[in-house]
Structure 1
Amino acid sequence: METILKDGVLPECTEECAICLDKIQGKKSLKCFHSFCSECIDSLFKFKPACPICNTYFGKYTGNQPEGTMTVDRSWQRLPGYEHCETLVIQYNFPAGIQGPEHPNPGVRYSTTSRTAFLPACEEGEKVLRLLRKAFDRRLIFTVGRSVTTGLNNVITWNDIHHKTNIQGGPQCFGYPDPDYLSRVQEELRLKGVTEDD
């Protein structure tokens, strides 16, 4: 298709809003340089303050994780691929409760849940631990919904930030060795707006 030039100048492009898929009205540009209708992006930011195109966060994103605790211990046990350092053992505990208005079925009960995860106590593992703590405090690591593993509804489930719940067995068993895990989980955290800089 040929572009017709008028006086040697390209015709003005009409920008389309990626949210409403119509011509941008009251243009609002974000720091990531993506532009939207101001009404569209303002409405979207009430639910998730992130660019819908590149997922760059603006402000803090808080999830709907139920009340619980995150504790960390150190173990002498070594993880495959990280034999040079100790192991960080993360314990998540959630008492039974009732879903709030931010959950899929307000007023419906969910049962008690506990999960154990493992990180190498190396410099990068310690960094991931700090990021996981920040994500936990922002209620982003767990949610209430349908378990992919059991198929049960109204249970506490992981919320797209993968953890190593086994010491060994490799990625297929959610364990080590998995040389790319620490960088992958940092990217998952970044997509939730959790970085060392924020």
Structure 2
Amino acid sequence: MDKVVRPTRLHCCNNVFCTDCIDKAFQVKPVCPTCGYQSGVLKGTQPITATMTFAKATRVLPGYEECGSIQIYYDIPDGIQEECHPNPGRPYQGTARMAFLPDNTEGRKVLKLLKRAFENRLVFTIGTSVTTGNMDVVIWNDIHHKTNPHGGPSNYGYPDPGYLRRVTDELAAKGIK
């Protein structure tokens, strides 16, 4: 809020900031301080020891009978919370999760986006489980996954014709496009 030194104009709202100031602000959160427009990919707090692998399978998902499926495996071992977590230095309980995508063009596109989100530590975080109430556990971080191949949307499964579009939108909101 002082005299602008080495100006940088943001395209979202045309406001001008000092280059050094806006660069420093974007290191914390890549969002315009004036209008809130996201400028870049968010960095998350997923434990650094987490791993993500995937495999193609012949299993057919309801609603996608014309193709096989992709099974995604996440493994996050128990560990000690980092500075970016709610209770740095305290232990947290890890988890292992599996998710499913159709093995078609759109499903493979979502897989690439999920891989980018994972690399940016956005898929999981540490917090309190909504289902168990346990604290200091690894939980999902607002990117929905289909963890059941059957059962419909209410059971985190297929068929759910709008899922791939919705998860793509959720990823875009975090800068993953």
Length-normalised TM-score, structure 2? 0.86
Equivalenced residues, count: 172
Write out per-residue CA displacement over residues 143-165 of structure 1, whole angstroms, 9 at most, x where no aligned residue: 01111121111110101100000
CA distance, structure 2, for counterparts of residue 131 and residue 150 of structure 1:
29
Is 1:166–2:162 an aligned residue pair?
no
How far did 1:75 drift? Answer: 1.3
Range that drifts further, 38-47 or 75-84: 38-47
Structure 2 vs 1, CA of residues 178 and 34 (structure 1 numbering), >3 Å: closer, same or farther? farther
CA distance, structure 2, for counterparts of residue 54 and residue 129 of structure 1:
31
What secondary structure is seen at the aligned counterpart in 1 of 2:139?
A: strand
Q: Which residue of 1 aligns with 2:30?
A: 49
Q: Which residue of 2 aligns with 1:30?
A: 10
Write out per-residue CA displacement over residues 14-58 of structure 1, whole angstroms, 9 at most, x where no aligned residue: xxxxxxxxxx87687521126487699677534210236775432
What secondary structure is seen at the aligned counterpart in 1 of 2:165?
A: helix
The answer (yes or no) to whether the contact 1:55–1:191 under 8 Å persists in 2 is no
Q: Which residue of 1 aligns with 2:70?
A: 88
Structure 2 vs 1, CA of residues 161 and 54 (structure 1 numbering), >3 Å: closer, same or farther? farther
Q: Which residue of 1 aligns with 2:46?
A: 65
CA distance, structure 1, for counterparts of residue 131 and residue 14 of structure 2:
37
Is 1:190–2:167 an aligned residue pair?
no
Alignment gaps of 5+ in structure 1: 1-23
RMSD: 2.3
CA distance, structure 1, for counterparts of residue 35 and residue 64 of structure 2:
33
Structure 2 vs 1, CA of residues 108 and 124 (structure 1 numbering), >3 Å: closer, same or farther? same
CA distance, structure 2, for counterparts of residue 124 and residue 118 of structure 1:
13
CA distance, structure 2, for counterparts of residue 37 and residue 26 of structure 1:
9
How far did 1:178 drift? Answer: 0.6
Calculate percent identity across the aligned residue pairs: 51
Q: Which residue of 2 aligns with 1:139?
A: 121
What secondary structure is seen at the aligned counterpart in 1 of 2:28?
A: coil
Structure 2 vs 1, CA of residues 107 and 119 (structure 1 numbering), >3 Å: closer, same or farther? same
Q: Which residue of 2 aligns with 1:178?
A: 160
Length-normalised TM-score, structure 1? 0.78
CA distance, structure 2, for counterparts of residue 26 and residue 184 of structure 1:
43
The answer (yes or no) to whether the contact 1:96–1:113 under 8 Å persists in 2 is yes
Structure 2 vs 1, CA of residues 183 and 52 (structure 1 numbering), >3 Å: closer, same or farther? farther
The amino acid that maps onto 1:88 is: I
Range that drifts further, 30-39 or 88-97: 30-39
The answer (yes or no) to whether the contact 2:50–2:75 under 8 Å persists in 1 is yes
The answer (yes or no) to whether the contact 2:46–2:123 under 8 Å persists in 1 is yes
The amino acid that maps onto 1:50 is: V
How far did 1:180 drift? Answer: 0.6
Give the number of the structure with larger relative contact order, counting CA–CA contacts within 8 Å between residues 6 or more apart. 2
